[in-house]
Chains A and B, each alone.
Chain A
Amino acid sequence: MSFFPDQQPTQFINPETPGYVGFANLPNQVHRKSVKKGFEFTLMVVGESGLGKSTLINSLFLTDLYPERIIPGAAEKIERTVQIEASTVEIEERGVKLRLTVVDTPGYGDAINCRDCFKTIISYIDEQFERYLHDESGLNRRHIIDNRVHCCFYFISPFGHGLKPLDVAFMKAIHNKVNIVPVIAKADTLTLKERERLKKRILDEIEEHSIKIYHLPDAESDEDEDFKEQTRLLKASIPFSVVGSNQLIEAKGKKVRGRLYPWGVVEVENPEHNDFLKLRTMLITHMQDLQEVTQDLHYENFRSERLKRGGRKVENEDMNKDQILLEKEAELRRMQEMIARMQAQMQMQMQGGDSDSGTLGHHV
């Protein structure tokens, strides 16, 4: 049967290769389209102040996302809650455009009491999911902007003897919502032995607390040996211990990015000094996978939870508190009434002398 009744049914034959349909060209089409469309990626950075987050981001993407920073003093830090600051840059490399959004979380871990540290961060992540869900369910789905957080670099202090209680609490709160990549910051304060010990300690604690961090996918069997080896090396170095710097130092006759100490120069891009290159490789090679996992796992989790709740919005914490307040006021009133009654009874007792014991069995 032919769709075009006046045409002869023909066999589709490629003149060069018999039996060749042409599907092999599809990836190229996808490639061309994606270059035209560009990539977007949202990276969140979380960690205490002073761990070199901004410097590392600037080093990773060779840009300056944080030109005019004002760092608050200790007194101001006491009052501040965690804030969310998102900055977007468009980077281009060999015709490929990347729209990178970095979400910073200043104030995290600063306060004396950090219990409410991550509420702001979690609501931000949920908000992005919520917005995407809303857009996805809407009428015009051509230009949905994907602001969901695809990856979270969690900065761990090199000084701790492993994870701190705050680290554990935070990661457990977000590991079902975002891909966590733990990073040991300012690694130039650790000797090689200390570094290995700390990495092992952190991995043990992550397993002990059942924290789900992002797992690099294994290399496909049809990849070449180099790539397989690279993937194996990357997987073995997690968590990455990094050093960031935007200063150019003269070392061994050439200019490198590094930190100049009286006892030597730490080179950021020297794989023997730290894992910076590994982190960059991992991020670039697996950017696509990070987005996929966010879409297929974290977002779908969020979506099924939301749909189960039947579209009702998440209960407001404040609403709960107001409710608690009302309940407590009611209880207070009841107790006041009770006290008034007992006072009246005692009065009667003192006056009477022989009270009826019936009313005395009144227990709270």
Chain B
Amino acid sequence: MDKEYVGFAALPNQLHRKSVKKGFDFTLMVAGESGLGKSTLINSLFLTNLYEDRQVPDAGARTTQTLTIERRGVEIEEGGIKVKLTLVDTPGFGDSVDCSNCWLPVVRFIEEQFEQYLRDESGLNRKNIQDSRVHCCLYFISPFGRGLRPLDVAFLRAVHEKVNIIPVIGKADALMPRETQVLKQKIRDQLKEEEINIYQFPECDSDEDEEFKKQNEEMKGSIPFAVVGSCEVVRDGGTRPVRGRRYSWGTVEVENPHHCDFLNLRRMLVQTHLQDLKEVTHDLLYEGYRARCLQSLARPGARDRTSRSKLSRQSATEIPLPMLPLADTEKLIREKDEELRRMQEMLEKMQAQMQQSQAQSEQSDSL
């Protein structure tokens, strides 16, 4: 006798068809110092030219530039699947002589997206909520830095509870294979030491085949990904044309797994874990933000404190920012400046009051 068959085994197919119709949207943030090949890598990853007319500012302009957040959108279609990709760029990060707090605009941006979503979710018309939340942040680490630099640590600690971080070593063709291994291990050790939570690629399902499991383990082991990007196709004599960088001593092939981890990154980011990144953003990071928000609303005392000054807002959102140790006299000068400012405000208030009472008495006199 045939097993009884209800038919819900076909549900995944229905979901599949719906999602193909609906299309996917994904917001990817790239962050890191200038010159680490971020734009080239994005173009290589998605085989587009998102950064066509770039004007890179010179050192003079960069001295005065503050960090800006730039959004670029592109619609990519492949095999009938439509993806609306939004790229968030952070030009100016790490450029200035004084980079203190240069990560704050980024943190604010991520939180603003959460806030927008929270408002939309709590609103009346919830049919077409636009999800502009940042689903993933590719953080570029310099291959020269011998590990994470103080700025890297500060940035990662500020955003790791708000966005999925995938650390990436940029321009990895600067490193020989052994140097790459040493650097990766150093970064992994530092991430653990600083208690930074990067995106954890989930384990394979137990019903996948051995080959796939092995591949997955290998990919997980190669984090942070050491990548090389290129928008140029190199045509060497007899071999087929490849994307690469041609040097006098040889050619680096972007898609050669012995040369760099580009393929791994593309596979994990686009082919296998795009959906998971979105889910983790929604179920874990966004829910965390929402819980904190609701909690602060429930305690009005806490709310008042947050509106008073910038300093306490930072502590309310629990960002452990590393404060640089200032020289003692510098600290004293700053404290005195604060005091002076407060007294100035008090003075102005009192003056206003006195003028008001004077005006009132004049009025009463003239009546």
Contact = CB atoms under 8 A, between A and B. Distances in A.
Contact of A261 (B62, B176, B346): B176
Contact of B95 (A165, A324, A335, A353): A165
Given A159-B35, A262-B259, A339-B346, A331 B340 contact: yes
Given A205-B58, A208-B60, A335-B343, A160 B329 contact: no
A160 B35 contact: yes
Interface residues of B, number: 71
Contacts of A79: 325
Chain A residues touching B, range: 35 or more
A107 to B, nearest CB: 11
Residue of A159, A160, A208, A357 with most partner-chain B CB within 10 A: A159
Contacts, number: 194
Residue of B333, B344, B353 with most partner-chain A CB within 10 A: B333
Contact of B151 (A112, A169, A205, A265): A112
A346 interface: yes
Interface stretch (B7-15, B44-52, B96-104): B96-104
A266 B176 CA distance: 11
A357 to B, nearest CB: 7
Contact of B100 (A110, A113, A161, A208): A113
Contact of B347 (A188, A265, A335): A335
A261 B324 CA distance: 39
Given A318-B329, A332-B339, A335-B343, A74 B190 contact: yes
Contacts of A78: 150, 153, 322, 324
Residue of B33, B152, B248 with most partner-chain A CB within 10 A: B248
A325 B332 contact: yes
A342 interface: yes
Contact of B259 (A114, A115, A166, A263): A263
B317 interface: no
A157 B143 CA distance: 11
Contact of B361 (A261, A265, A329, A353): A353
A328 B337 contact: yes
- 8 smallest A-B Cβ distances: which pairs? A264-B250, A159-B35, A50-B144, A264-B249, A263-B250, A165-B63, A189-B174, A328-B336
Given A49-B146, A78-B324, A360-B354, 7 more contacts: A74-B149, A74-B152, A113-B97, A114-B97, A117-B97, A191-B247, A264-B251
26 contacts: A50-B142, A110-B149, A111-B150, A112-B154, A113-B98, A157-B144, A159-B35, A159-B142, A159-B144, A163-B58, A164-B95, A188-B247, A192-B247, A201-B58, A205-B58, A261-B249, A263-B250, A263-B259, A321-B329, A322-B329, A335-B344, A339-B350, A342-B347, A345-B354, A349-B354, A364-B351
